[in-house]
Amino acid sequence: MSDSVSDCTEHRSAVTDAEVEALVRGICFKTGPPRTVGVEVEWLVHELGEPRLPVPPERLRAAYAALRTLTLSSALTVEPGGQLELSSAPAASLMECVESVRADLDAVRSVLREAGIGLSGYGQDPWNPPRRFLHEPRYDAMESYLDRTGPEGRSMMCSSASVQVCLDAGYEEPGALGHGRRWWMAHHLGAVLVAAFANSPLAAGRPTGLRSTRQSLWAAMEPGRSSAPPLDGDPRASWARHVMDAPVMCVRADSGPWGVPRGMSFRDWSRSAHPPGRGDLDYHLTTLFPPIRPRGHLEFRMIDAQPGDDGWIVPLAVTTALFDDPEAAETAYRTVKPLAERAGSLPAPCNPLWEAAARDGLADPELHEAAVLCFAAAARALPRLGAGTAVRRAVAAFTDRYVARGRCPADDLLLQFHGKDIPT
């Protein structure tokens, strides 16, 4: 959504479908030892004293203008509904990533506090309907396109927030840290992460019947855009086919409205009389929203935004540990392997495993058992990754409060809604 892409049509030299497939294979899975980690944290914005009240657009524009005067390590961007996102630079370690983003968030919160604005971590706005803050050609085109298939697209654009963890694709060779296994494991462990960190059970002030309403919206939005490719075979070839066969959301223009085609895949476009250029391919890649998106690194997109100022640190630490520590990665792989049968042949997130994760969270017995084993493996791995005491304690506290009890943050929101006490 907030990917760094130009709104103009640069790189106009046309590319053929064969060239596109070669480019996708080359740029989306860059293998090597896992060395870097990154995170993108999104926040809903609201009146400081009342989280249920949105901030008027004119005040929000002034506050965001003030934020752009800050010197930050992270990239600061704004989502279509006014959600705020900080995207870290690739960090050499988990702790470097945590410390740089935490410092940036402290600076951002200080400026917003002076403007009477607060940040909240929910996967989906619990109270307010979608309303667009940014009016730009690409978001106009996106809204027009997504409206064709239902209301989910507007909610995704304007009302959702997440913690996106970014990890290296892995070694070229097979093994616990090989890119093939990491790709496969991400699509099964991803359901466990959805369940453990589910934090969006309300919409329009009422329970939806789901622990992660946000995840269900992504799954329902448009399968050709929000689903994963088949997991059998080479990840590069599978992803390249997926990119080529995915529908084109919009055709950029130098001025005026962008085109919103109907029923045109990128493969169709590349074989047309007016084929796309390299810049069009780069933009097309940013309009695909699978739960794990290869962008040279792997982008884990399934985790709801978390409560508390530092709640985002727990999914970052746990996911990094389970993928980048060889012992934890082996444990996680063995743990989620039995879940593959439940997922079946349908791609994530449109299969029974992912649907159960979004609906039930860790109340699902199999997902609960997997989460207990994976969080224990992550806890053992964190000292080996150099995680500081505060990070390890945060993971332990989350495990005790939620994972050990078969609960997730969404369950706290549901208890609050029903006027019941939250267990401590």
The three-state secondary structure class of 258 is coil
By mean pLDDT, which of 10-19, 158-167, 260-269, 367-376 is the weakest?
Answer: 10-19
Q: What is the pLDDT of residue 22?
A: 84
Q: How far apart are CA 238 and CA 81, in angstroms?
A: 33
pLDDT value at 132 more than 60: yes
pTM of the prediction?
A: 0.95
User: Mean pLDDT across the stretch 310-332?
Assistant: 98
CA torsion through residues 17, 19, 22, 28, sign = negative
- Of the chain, the percentage scoring pLDDT greater than 70 comes to 97
Residue 4 is predicted with a pLDDT of 46
Q: What is the mean pLDDT of residues 239-245?
A: 93
The answer to whether 372 and 419 are in contact (CB under 8 A) is no
Which of 17-26, 126-135, 177-186, 282-291 is predicted least confidently?
A: 17-26
Average pLDDT of span 94-104 = 98
Indicate the pLDDT class of residue 209, thresholds 50, 70 and 90.
very high
Higher-confidence residue of 106 and 10: namely 106
Average pLDDT over residues 124-128: 97
Q: How confident is the model at residue 25 (pLDDT cuts 50, 70, 90)?
A: confident
Instruction: Answer whether residue 13 shows pLDDT above 80.
Output: no
Give SS3 for 366: helix
Chain segment 288-315, per-residue pLDDT in tens: 999 999 999 999 999 999 999 999 999 9
Query: Does residue 249 have a pLDDT over 60?
Result: yes
Residue tagged 């039930």 (tokens): 360
pLDDT in the model for residue 33:
92
Tokens of 293: 């998106």
Does position 9 have pLDDT exceeding 70, yes or no? no
Tokens of 299: 């982008």
Q: Give the bridge partners for 91, in sequence order.
A: 37
Residue 252 confidence (pLDDT): 95
User: For residues 420 and 16, which has the higher predicted lDDT (pLDDT)?
Assistant: 420
Kindly report the three-state secondary structure assignment for every residue of 87-110: ECCCECCHHHHHHHHHHHHHHHHH
Q: Which position has the higher pLDDT, 232 or 208?
A: 208
Average pLDDT over the chain reads 94
pLDDT at residue 3, rounded to an integer: 56
Give the C-alpha separation, 44 to 361, whole Å: 22
- pLDDT single digits (tens) 255-273: 999 999 999 999 999 999 9
Contacts for 70 with CB less than 8 Å, ≥ 6 apart:
76, 107, 108, 111
Q: What is the mean pLDDT of residues 135-139?
A: 96
Position 192 scores a pLDDT of 98
Read off the pLDDT of residues 50-91 as tens digits, 9 standing for 90 and up.
989 999 999 999 999 999 999 999 999 999 999 999 999 999
The rounded percent of the chain whose pLDDT value lies above 90 is 89
Of 22, 359, 23, 13, whose CA–CA distance to 194 is shortest?
A: 359
Q: Read off the pLDDT of each residue in 25-40 and give the average, rounded to a whole number.
A: 92
